[in-house]
Structure 1
C-alpha cells in the first residue's frame, strides 16, 4: 500500500465527524509509541512549554547519570541515544526556543561530563555540531531572545 499525500489526508479528515476523528487518533496511538508520545504532548503538555522543557531536561539529566563510563565506546553510544531522544522531543514542540533550550542543556551536560569529552574526537564533533545547530536556531529568534541565548552560548563555549 502506498501512502497518500498530506493534502489528501487533510481533505479527507475535513469530511469526518468528531467521533470518527477521535477514533482515528486512538487507532494511531495504538500503533507506534511515537504517535502516542506526540498525542500526549499535544493534548497535555503543549499549553505549558516551560513544564515540558523542564521534564525533558530532567529526563536528560537522569540519562546522563546512567551512562556507563567504563569506555568511550559506551559513552558515545549513550550520548547518541540521549541526543536522538532530545531531537525527538524537539520535533514534537516545533518551537525554536524549545530547541535552543534543550540543545543548550545537552551541550552543558556533555561539556561537564566526567571523563572529559576532550579525550574523544567523536564526542567533540558531536558537541560542535550541536553548537552549530544552536547558532542556526538562535538566528531565527526575536532579537531580545537572540541576545539572551547568545550570552548563554558564549558562557558554554568559555
Structure 2
C-alpha cells in the first residue's frame, strides 16, 4: 500500500467532520510514540516555546549526567543518542530560534563534558559538525538574534 500525498490527505480531511478528525488523530497517536509526542507538543507546548526549550534543556542535562564514562565508546553512543533526541524535539517545534538555542546548549554541554572530548576524534568531529550547522543557520534569523547567537557561537568555536 502506498501512502497518499499531503495534498491528497488535506483534501480528504476537509470532507470529514470534527468528530471523525478527532478519532483519526487519537488513532494515529496510539500507533507511534513520536506521533503522540508531536501531538503533545502541538496541543500543550506550542504556545509556551520558552518552557518547552527549558524542558528539553533539563532533559539534556539529565542525559549528560547519566552518560557512562568508562570508555569513549559508551560516551559516543550516548552523545549521539542525545543529539538524535534533540533533533527530534527541534523537528517538533519547527522554530529556527528554538533550533539554534537547543543546538548551542548541546554544544556547550559537550564542550564542558568530562572527560574532555578532545581525546576522541569522533566526538570532536560531531561537535564541529554541529558548530558548522549552527553557523549556517544563524543568518536565517533576525539581525539582533544573529549578533547574540554569534557571540555565543564564538565562545564555542575551537
TM range (shorter): over 0.9
| TM alignment of 1:10-49, pairs within 5 A | 10-49=10-49
Counterpart position of 1:134: 134
Alignment of 1:1-158 (within 5 A): 1-157=1-157
State the Cα distance separating 1:157 from its structure 2 match: 2.2
In structure 2, runs of 5+ residues without a counterpart are none
CA displacement at 1:156 relative to structure 2: 1.9
1:87-125 deviation digits (Å, cap 9, x = unpaired): 000000001100000000000000000000000000000
TM-score (norm 1): 0.99
Tell me, in whole angstroms, the C-alpha distance in 2 between the residues paired with 1:9 and 1:135.
36
User: In 2, distance between residues paired with 1:144 and 1:16?
Assistant: 44
Stretches of 4+ aligned residues off by more than 6 angstroms: none
Provide the rounded CA distance (Å) in 1 between the counterparts of 2:15 and 2:134.
Answer: 41
Question: TM-score scaled by structure 2?
Answer: 0.99
Deviation at 1:8, TM superposition (A): 0.2
